[in-house]
Amino acid sequence: MFFLFILMIAGTFNVQEYLNEVKGFNANSYFKEQAYNDAKNFDSVKEAKQLVDVQDFDIHLMNWCLFAATQEVRERANLSPLKFDVRLRNAAVIHTNEMVKRGFYDHINNRNSALKMPNNRMEICGVNSMKIAENIHNYGFQNNAVSYKDLARAIVKSFFASSGHKKNILDKQLNSLGCGAMFEKDKSSNRYFMKVTQCFAYLPNQ
């Protein structure tokens, strides 16, 4: 954490160095990038049926499941599928990590000016688009033997309770997505919450 503060104070934000400090991000995982390129039925992926364990959390599997669950609702609405973009995923992971580590829940990060707004975070990760959107969630986790895919579907369903979040997911002008999720323990209630960021953009080459 001290290393991250040095980077920010120096005014040189290095995306890869930041992500190297995010718990679990450096793990070798099929779901880090390759899974997005392989067309598979969500329900047929055995790893997605694993039960979520907050003490042994697979960040890449969860991010992929959120992406796949979002694709499902797009498909049901007869919309074009979203393309995975690693830069959007990185921006989503960075914002979720900032919210967890710095103890806030907002689209605006007032703790670090370089990462203040959604467009700042996406641009730092290499995305330049005239059309972007961001969804965030603080989802109360009930540790009751839920699978990764069922948790992802529940979170996307909860997004639909908000007209703004639903609009972003179903926006025909947005064609790319990256998700970032991780757990945070609320000290006052001793409950776990899953903080989620979805970064959307229109990318002309997708």
* Strand 176-186 relative to strand 191-201, pairing: antiparallel
pLDDT tens by residue, 148-180: 999 999 999 999 999 999 999 999 999 999 999
The C-alpha atoms of residue 164 and residue 176 are separated, in whole angstroms, by 17
The C-alpha atoms of residue 168 and residue 152 are separated, in whole angstroms, by 17
The C-alpha atoms of residue 32 and residue 90 are separated, in whole angstroms, by 11
Report the amino acid identity of residue 6.
Answer: I
pLDDT tens by residue, 99-152: 999 999 999 999 999 999 999 999 999 999 999 999 999 999 987 789 999 999
pLDDT for 206 equals: 66
Nearest CA-CA partner of 104 in 63, 140, 138: 138
Which pTM value belongs to this model? 0.92
pLDDT at 27 over 90: yes
* Cβ-proximal residues to 46 (8 Å cutoff; 6+ apart), any chain: none
pLDDT for 11 equals: 53
pLDDT tens by residue, 65-102: 999 999 999 999 999 999 999 999 999 999 999 999 99
